[in-house]
Chains A and B, each alone.
Chain A
Amino acid sequence: MSTAVETRRGPFVREILGRSDYAIISELVEPGTKVLDLGCGDGELLEWLVEHKGVEARGIEINSVKVQRAIARGVSVYQGDIDEGLADYPDHAFDYVILSQTLQETRRPLKVLREMLRVGKRAIVAFPNFGHWKVRLAHLFTGRAPKTKLFPYEWYDSPNIHFLTVLDFEDLARQEGWTIERRIFLAGRHTGRLLPNLMAEIAVYLIRSNTARQAGSAR
């Protein structure tokens, strides 16, 4: 029992959780906060945040089997649809609302992002960058819908229905008046700042809406 705990408390979160965006997200979340994870899968990230950061965790997940696994981990997950599922939460119910690599799968991404910033004081959004050079090359040279490590699906069975790049997201943030508090770009397991729209495989943003600041947000 104690060995398992020791292993999980290893020095680098990314080594433990495997997915590099999880690692970044768990570093962004302040201890003791209230967190909602959209499309939380089987609750792996939330469980980690509960046990290591003492957060109060909630999740939304559409897949019944994953919801069961999350609840079996002791995480309070609600079986529902992200596109509709946020409506019932009151304003600023959470310190953070997390959307990890699911934005491109939502039907109405802007509505989801706005809802995230309504129910959360801050939003953490991680998405695969469609502007990555490999995607661009795949498109250029094959003349077909690009297939890469990050976008491995055939066009007809891909869950991804919106494709966005780092620049697209920055534009949207400007247009919506969101404050970007942190931006982290990942390629493999490394972070980098150089030419993110070309080099980043995954982009992670910590954003806050300006209305939240006017309303006197805690931090």
Chain B
Amino acid sequence: MIVQTQYVRFDSLSLDCGATLSPVDVAYETYGELNRERTNAILILHALSGDAHAAGISHETGKPGWWDNMIGPGKGFDTDKYFVICSNVLGGCRGTTGPSSINPATGCPYALSFPVITIGDMVRLQNMLIDYLGIERLLAVAGGSMGGMQALQWTVAYPDKVAAAIPIATTARHSPQQIAFNEVGRQAIMADPDWNGGNYYGRRPPARGLALARMIGHITYMSDESMREKFGRRLRDKDRYGFDFSVDFEVESYLHYRGAQFVDRFDANSYLYITKAMDYFDLTNGSASLASVLEKTQARFLVISFTSDWLYPSYQSLEIVNALRSRNRDVAYCELNSNYGHDAFLVEVGEQTEIVRGFLARTFERLR
């Protein structure tokens, strides 16, 4: 399946912070066919570093999408049955307007003049895309991690436009620990002299800071067990310790590689803005309780967590599930066994495929 990213421009978008952004570009991809009744559309929502290229082989890069193992013909999100959409989030750097985009008022990149955005803003923009595509109601919204936050936000912001939601390895609000890790990542970027107050476009980007942020991120995405299995204490290209501060261990080499690789494809300012949006995320948003917020939702829910995910632990999924149950909402919940930590939502394909397929099939059948 060769796919091509498409683009659409909207006149303006009003943001939670009070500012208005105009115009706003959205990069998106679609897979499968929209049926005549327009009832089979599924919106896939990506995590912190994802993009619109969720599935298939990119026409431009030749690379598979970030969730290609879950989306495609006969897969969990079966593109023979469903019309699947994925767009790059607001604030991103992969085609949708973000801090690296040109501000039409100045002709220069926004950099830190880009307004601070929220998960709610991201979802509002996605809703404009859905309207543009002529879809009145989505069969499902689905995503892991920050994608799960957007899925939850969808069910609350547009309750009558979502038949089902699949929030995976996520939370209804960022915990102090999650905020803390994000803040360390941001500080790593901002401590890099090349960051230069966010004004580095056209010159050397804060590669060391961004790579460090990504290294910290990767530690939180794995588990103690998956790191032991993957690296152990194995040394990298040597038989004994170097007695210096070059790379000794496999795990160090892996983190360096991941950090360096990330710098080539991600914008440091986008990292700041998107992690901030995650930290601000709190579905209760001043309401008395999560239950009273979720009471308004009309979607069926499938909530999934993973046993070894310590970044988005199961108790956070259970908060969502129990709030839904207390309002007698239709919710299925499963904690899947995995050693992969938070990465599990991208890696554990087999079990997720079965439950997602069954859940979607029943939802689709009920719409008829």
Contact = CB atoms under 8 A, between A and B. Distances in A.
A72 B357 contact: yes
A90 B323 CA distance: 11
A73 interface: yes
Given A78-B333, A79-B335, A68 B354 contact: yes
Interface residues of A, number: 21
B302 interface: yes
Contact of B332 (A64, A75, A89): A75
Given A68-B351, A72-B355, A77 B326 contact: no
A74 interface: yes
A74 B334 contact: no
Given A68-B354, A71-B358, A89 B335 contact: no
Interface string B325-353: 11110111111110000000000000100
A79 B335 CA distance: 7
Tell me whether chain A's interface is mostly helix, strand or loop, or mixed.
mixed
A33 interface: no
Contacts of A78: 321, 325, 331-333
Interface in B289-304: 300, 302
Interface in A78-104: 78-80, 88-90, 93
A76 B302 CA distance: 8
A79 B325 contact: no
B334 A73 contact: no
A67 B330 CA distance: 15
B322 interface: yes
A89 B325 contact: yes
A55 to B, nearest CB: 12
B328 A93 contact: yes
A88 B335 contact: no
Interface residues of B, number: 25
Contacts of A68: 334, 336, 351, 354-355
Given A58-B330, A64-B337, A72-B358, 4 more contacts: A64-B335, A67-B334, A72-B359, A89-B328
Contacts of A72: 354-355, 357-359
Nearest to A71: B355
Given A74-B362, A79-B335, A90 B330 contact: no
A136 to B, nearest CB: 42
A8 to B, nearest CB: 16
Contact of A73 (B300, B322, B325, B358): B358
Nearest to A69: B354
B184 interface: no
Nearest to A47: B362
Interface of B: 300, 302, 321-322, 325-328, 330-337, 351, 354-355, 357-359, 361-362, 365
Interface string A32-75: 00000000000000000000000010100000100111111111
B186 to A, nearest CB: 35
B328 A90 contact: yes
Interface string A154-176: 00000000000000000000000
A64 B336 contact: yes
A132 B332 CA distance: 38
A90 B326 contact: yes
21 contacts: A64-B335, A64-B336, A67-B333, A68-B336, A68-B354, A70-B332, A71-B302, A71-B358, A72-B354, A72-B358, A72-B359, A73-B358, A74-B358, A76-B300, A77-B332, A78-B325, A78-B332, A78-B333, A79-B333, A88-B325, A90-B328
Contacts of A90: 326-328
A68 B355 CA distance: 6
Contacts of B359: 71-72, 74
A90 B325 CA distance: 8
Contacts of A89: 325-326, 328
Contacts of B300: 76
A29 B361 CA distance: 25
Contact of A76 (B330, B336, B361): B330
A213 B15 CA distance: 52
A72 B330 CA distance: 15
A74 B330 CA distance: 12
A81 B359 CA distance: 22
A59 B204 CA distance: 56
B332 A71 contact: yes
